[in-house]
Amino acid sequence: MADVLIVSLGSTAGLRAADAELADSLRRSGASVELVRARPPRPVRTLMLTDMRWAQSARSVTEPALRALNPKSVLYSSTTASLFGPRTGAIRFDAPSAANRPGRHGLWQRPLERRRLARAPLLLPWSEAGLRETGLDGAPAVVLPVPVESSGPAGERDIAAITYAANPAKKGLARILAAWREARRPGEELVVAGAPASGEGVRAVGLLAPDEYRALLRRARVFVSAPRREDYGVAQLEALADGCRLVSAPAPGPYVALPIARALDPRLVGEDLAGALRLALDAPEDGYADRARVALEDFSRRAIDQTVRDRVLPVLLR
């Protein structure tokens, strides 16, 4: 028996980490929780078929878990995990297919997703903007961000800039590298995590364990970002939590760090990425890290646990 069965799509490291955090928060709030993850399907060429394979994989791990555990409630993490779900459940998501699967890319996903979201007893979007993208006004929903906290004491800020680009096209790596070529001064280094990159003053470190990556953030002065679309932006929030100044181009999507960055220093958000980089490196505003820490209070585990205890569990277990 379990109170809550979490069905995790887990298609990225960020989703897997977010689902583990959610399970831990539910347990700290007194619920018994089991988490099952979809098995990665064989790569295919189109987003439509990719989503179908992932949804089928999620169903294949959900059915035996339901028989074995008979949970009081099912919570699907990502709308894709819910599409072929054998039992209606709560749905947690960063952004819906209605927004990030335009045109033919979401031909079958969007209508099925809308039906699943409309029937869910509870929606748990990562952000208000993500909820708005569903177009479901008045749906039972609780905004539940992914917790983000400092990973430890800051070290010497000996890295000028850092970026994370596990999906180089989506994260705008080419634009970031072009801005760095224009903005860089001798001796300055841009560290690229998650993807190959080269150039003068560029060091690619590949995919790192979370602790290793966060240790680099604590050494960096600036985190630079230029996504084509940002469904949430955990990497940017982690950078702010670890004391980096956030330089970013504007981007569509529920990019929760973007308004925070604008409020902290509007000079560092704009289309002139190279100019913003030089401002962040040469003329940083006083107290940026302290103000960022205050801005991230709602993303603390303490705040998330209170929301789970007061507003989420009562619905899941009724």
Please name the amino acid found at residue 39.
Answer: R
Q: How far is CA 20 from CA 88, 103, 166, 187, in A?
A: 21, 32, 20, 39
Percentage of residues in the chain having pLDDT higher than 70? 100
- pLDDT mean over 216-237: 97
Q: How confident is the model at residue 238 (pLDDT cuts 50, 70, 90)?
A: very high
**Mean of pLDDT values over 93-106:** 94
Q: What is the DSSP string of 166-231?
A: SSHHHHTHHHHHHHHHHH--TT--EEEESS---STTEEEEES--HHHHHHHHTTEEEEEE--S--S
pLDDT tens digit sequence for 11-46: 988 899 999 999 999 999 999 999 999 999 999 999
- Report the pLDDT value the prediction gives residue 167, as an integer from 0 to 100: 92
Map tokens 């364990």 to a residue. 209
What average pLDDT does the structure give for the chain? 96
* Per-residue pLDDT tens over the stretch 129-173: 999 999 998 899 999 999 999 999 988 999 999 999 999 999 999
Instruction: Say how far apart CA 125 and CA 133 lie, in whole Å.
Output: 10
- Which pLDDT value is given to residue 154? 87
What pLDDT is attached to residue 56? 98
The pLDDT, as a whole number, for residue 180 is 98
Reported as a single tens digit per residue, the pLDDT across 253-297 is: 999 999 999 999 999 999 999 999 999 999 999 999 999 999 999
Mean pLDDT of 111-116: 97
Q: Are 176 and 226 in contact (CB under 8 A)?
A: yes
pLDDT at 155: 83
> Six-digit token pair at 316?
């899941």
How much is the pLDDT for 1? 83
Question: What per-residue confidence (pLDDT) applies to 130?
Answer: 96
pLDDT greater than 90 at residue 224: yes
Mean pLDDT of 213-223: 98
pTM of this structure = 0.94
